[in-house]
Chains A and B, each alone.
Chain A
Amino acid sequence: MHPGIYETVLRWIPEKSRVLDLGAGAGAFLARLVQARQATGEGVEKDPALVARCVERGLVVHQGDIADGLDQYGDRAFDFVLLLGTLQELVSPANILQEAFRVGRHVVIAHTNFAHFSVRLQVLLRGRTPMTQFLPSHWYHTQNLHFFSILDFQDFCREAGIREVNHAYFNARGAVRFLPNLRAEEAVSLLQADTISRRSAVAEPGKTKTETYEV
């Protein structure tokens, strides 16, 4: 992921916040947050070897698959829930997002922009699934299940009643301000969902586990 994304998220998170990092990996960024922001941090990670690395760093970490939900956490247990580069790899991103908004007041999403011009050109001119610095894997190796653009994500948030409080866009040369959907390769958004309803549009019909939650 672009280093600018991490710097941006660090800026967005006030001191002493309670932060949940979904897909925490080896915990490098969470450890930075805990140190730089005196945050109360916690990570969720699927891979036990990475969980062990988080323990080595002294982080509170929970081994589990985000796809199984976040039932171990109470409503509004966190100020910020981070999904940095994880959302596009989840089978049901909408359900996870709803869970994230149940346990956190704000959700931070970072994702790859599938409408960057190099991606468009590769599809158009080469007729092949694009590969870039930020989409480095062949189609048969990629962890990504969903390929969406910045505009796609904005549509999704609008329909779900999620408000984008802040955002930042990056490509290999740095921050992008103009024409992000064409020029940015990665995006990060700070989201808020004050109005998210129990039967929000985010949840897939019939798949939601959230009906029993008090939001």
Chain B
Amino acid sequence: MAASPINFARGDLQDQKVADYQSPLGVTRTETVTLPGLRTQSGFTFEQVDVSYQTLGTLSPARDNAILVCPALSGDAHVAGTDPHTGRPGWWAYHVGPGKAIDTGKFFVICASVLGGCGGTTGPASLRPGTGKSYGMDFPPVTVRDMVSVQIKLLDHLGIPQLFAAIGGSMGGMQALALAVDHPERVCVCIPIATCISHTAMQIAFNEIGRHAVLSDPDWNGGNYSASRRPVHGLAVARMVGHVTYLSEFAMTHKFGRQRRLEQGANGDKSSPFSVESYLQHQGENFVKRFDPNSYLYLTRAIDQFDLFENGPAAETLRRLRSHFLVISFESDWLYPPAQSRELVRLLKRAGIPATYINIGTEYGHDSFLIENPAFAGVVRNYLENEYRLARD
């Protein structure tokens, strides 16, 4: 398929104030709710957890139109609309909103920051009750399934017995999968995007480089760093490596080539950095402003440990499922290559589950689901529309 007409210069919405982006949703707020106890997979008990979440659209009287959007590693509850404090658009504003792929005019969209992250839901930077100090590295190991347990608690709190759909890319796709597998009665449709059933050695390796960058920053200090002296250099390097894995060679050539940040002087000065260098530095610097280094360690560990079928063989586990699946991959995604999605699809189909699979030709790598992407948006919109009609019949 030919490359879709994507204005990649606008990039994803994560780390920039996009001046020309006007959200039809206007200003959207996140809320925080404190929910009762949670026991993690590792056996740690939280007396209570804070959950930061956002809802968009209106829940139908039959409560049958709720869609849970599961965020990726760097995403938070602010999925769409303009943030009242930062002015930033939500991380998935391209695809969530009125008339968009996930149509807030039809669906009630819920998005919550994950456990262990730093988006307002309980994580390593949260205060540990009774100590007046943050958890730091005393925070228990979290898993993707723990994140899902928190989301289920939130759904209970919101009074939603069954989701119409769970959708997410990358780490968000793992959550959507775990939710469909562990709570089959709670979701009709599952849309995992650019994700996998477990990480390969290569995926773990890139995360290990990121973690190592944080751990070897002297300011990390065993995880006990102060707000004024955080291991920002290590985290920035981690983000730079991460960012390279999210793009593709095509995207980088297209966007940067061998351009330099400043035009060469008349004397042929080549000391100005390449555009790609300053871009990565910029990404790193922005990321550390909003992300907690310890959270980075916990979340990358969680996705490395993720194994959808850790509790039993795939065939047996999947046979209990009732959800319909739409699995999406991107041809140019070398971090979560299409073969991983195809393996998921093979297991689903062999278990007799209706699964549609599309490998979209978008040439912008793993980030293809975060950017403006008409081919991707069309498939998601049409699938949700048809399945919603089917579910209501």
Binding site for B on A (CB under 8 A): 42, 47-49, 51-52, 54-64, 71-74, 77
Closest Cβ–Cβ distance, residue A56 to chain B (whole Å): 5
Inter-chain contact A55/B382, CB cutoff 8 Å: yes
A-B contact count (CB 8 A): 63
Contact residues in B for A74 (Cβ distance below 8 Å): 349-350, 352
Q: A47-B1, A58-B390, A72-B346 are in contact. Are A52 and B356 (CB under 8 A)?
A: no
Apart from A55-B386, A56-B378, A64-B357, list 10 A-B contacts with CB within 8 A: A52-B358, A55-B326, A55-B379, A55-B383, A57-B386, A58-B386, A60-B354, A72-B346, A73-B349, A74-B352
Nearest chain A residue, comparing its CB with the CB of B386: A58
Q: How far is the CA of A63 from the CA of B390 in the complex (A)?
A: 22
What residues of A have a CB within 8 angstroms of the CB of B387 in the complex? Answer: 58
How far does the alpha carbon of A63 sit from the alpha carbon of B345 in the complex, in Å?
10
Closest A residue by C-beta to B360: A48
Question: Do residues B360 and A73 form an inter-chain contact, with CB atoms below 8 A?
Answer: no
List B contacts of A47 (CB < 8 A): 1
Please state if A63 and B383 are interface contacts (CB–CB under 8 Å): no
Task: Sample 16 A-B pairs with CB under 8 A, ordered by A number.
Answer: A48-B375, A52-B358, A52-B375, A54-B356, A55-B356, A55-B382, A55-B386, A56-B378, A61-B357, A61-B358, A62-B345, A62-B349, A63-B357, A63-B359, A72-B350, A73-B349
Question: Does B49 have its Cβ within 8 Å of any Cβ on chain A?
Answer: no
> By DSSP majority rule, is chain A's interface helix, strand, loop, or mixed?
mixed
How many whole Å from A157's CB to the nearest CB in chain B?
28
Q: Decide: A48 and B390 in contact? CB cutoff 8 A.
A: no
Within 8 A of A (CB), among B321-353: 326, 342, 345-346, 349-350, 352
Q: Which of B209-255 contact A (CB under 8 A)?
A: none
Q: Please determine whether A60 and B350 come into contact, CB atoms closer than 8 angstroms.
A: no
- List the A side residues contacting B390 at CB < 8 Å: 58
Q: Report how far A71 CA is from B348 CA in the complex, Å.
A: 12
CB atoms of B383 and A71 under 8 A apart: no
B361 within 8 A of A: yes
B372-393 residues with Cβ-Cβ distance < 8 A to A are 375, 378-379, 382-383, 386-387, 389-390
A48 contacts B356, C-beta separation under 8 Å: no
B354 contact set on A, CB distance < 8 A: 42, 60
| Nearest CB of B to A155, in Å | 34
A64 partner residues in chain B, CB cutoff 8 A: 342, 357
B1 pairs with A49, CB closer than 8 A: yes
Q: In the bound complex, do residue B346 and residue A71 qualify as a contact, i.e. CB atoms below 8 Å apart?
A: yes
Q: Is the CB of A52 within 8 A of B378?
A: yes
Nearest B residue (CB) for A51: B358
CA–CA, A155 and B351, complex, Å? 37
A residues less than 8 Å from B352 (CB atoms): 74, 77
Q: For residue A77, which residues in chain B have a CB less than 8 angstroms away from its CB?
A: 349, 352
B346, A48: Cβ atoms under 8 Å? no
- With the chains together, A63 CA to B349 CA distance in Å? 13
Whether B360 pairs with A61 at a CB distance below 8 angstroms is no
Alpha-carbon gap, A169 to B375, bound state (A):
39
Indicate if B137 sits at the interface (CB-CB under 8 A). no
Cα(A59)–Cα(B356), bound, Å: 8
Establish whether residues A60 and B356, one from each chain, have CB atoms under 8 Å apart when the complex forms.
Answer: yes
A42 to B353 Cα, complex, angstroms? 12
